[in-house]
Amino acid sequence: MVLHPAAPFLAEHIPGADRSPRMPLPATASRSLLYVSTSLVPRRDADAIIAELVASSRRHNQRAQITGALMYSERHFVQIIEGPPIAIGSLLARLDIDPRHRDLCILYDADNHPRRFADWSLAYFGPDRLIAPYIEAALARGGAPEAAVLIDAIAAFAAAADGTAHDAG
């Protein structure tokens, strides 16, 4: 796991948006983290593998009071996770050893950050090549503007899919 050099800067410069939660959320501090990783999922098996990943993640996230969004571009995973700092730390440790991906790179990590995906235990919109350029730009340039655009793109997918995406949250 690599902490991207821009992560501390991003924590101070990306505002959150309040949303009414469908699931009860703790009043405790929330940690928000964005990472990108390289997928090791064979394309021919991706639908089944990711469907199981999403289902098990939603169950875990609801128990751990974690919210967020996952996107898959066939080459990369990008995920925003939000929740109690201890729960996020535990999840990050599991993600770091997950055999379905490698090269986990943290682009953004902030404490006491408002949840942007409070309505979702895990929002997932299916494989999407439209997100790939945002991922590539964030990894290549590593700056706050690229990561902010990536976060905003994921939030736009969630807003567009609100009520129709794949989360029973």
Give pLDDT, residue 6: 42
83/67 Cα distance (integer angstroms): 6
CA 62 to chain centre: 15
Element (H, E) at 91: helix 85-96
- In this prediction, residue 27 carries a pLDDT of 42
Q: Are 21 and 157 in contact (CB under 8 A)?
A: no
Per-residue pLDDT of the chain (169 residues; tens, 9 = 90+): 544 444 443 344 333 322 333 444 444 458 999 999 999 999 999 999 999 999 999 999 999 999 999 999 889 999 999 999 999 999 999 999 999 999 999 988 888 878 888 888 998 877 777 888 888 888 888 766 777 888 888 888 877 766 444 444 4
The encoded tokens of residue 10 equal 């991003």
pLDDT at 147: 77
The CB density around residue 159, as the number of other CB atoms within 10 Å, is 13
Alpha carbons 25 and 21: distance in angstroms, whole number: 7
What is the pTM assigned to this prediction?
Answer: 0.77
Rg (CA), the chain: 14
Q: Give how far the C-alpha of residue 111 lies from the chain's centroid of Cα atoms, to the nearest Å.
A: 15
User: How many CB atoms neighbour CB 148 within 10 A?
Assistant: 19
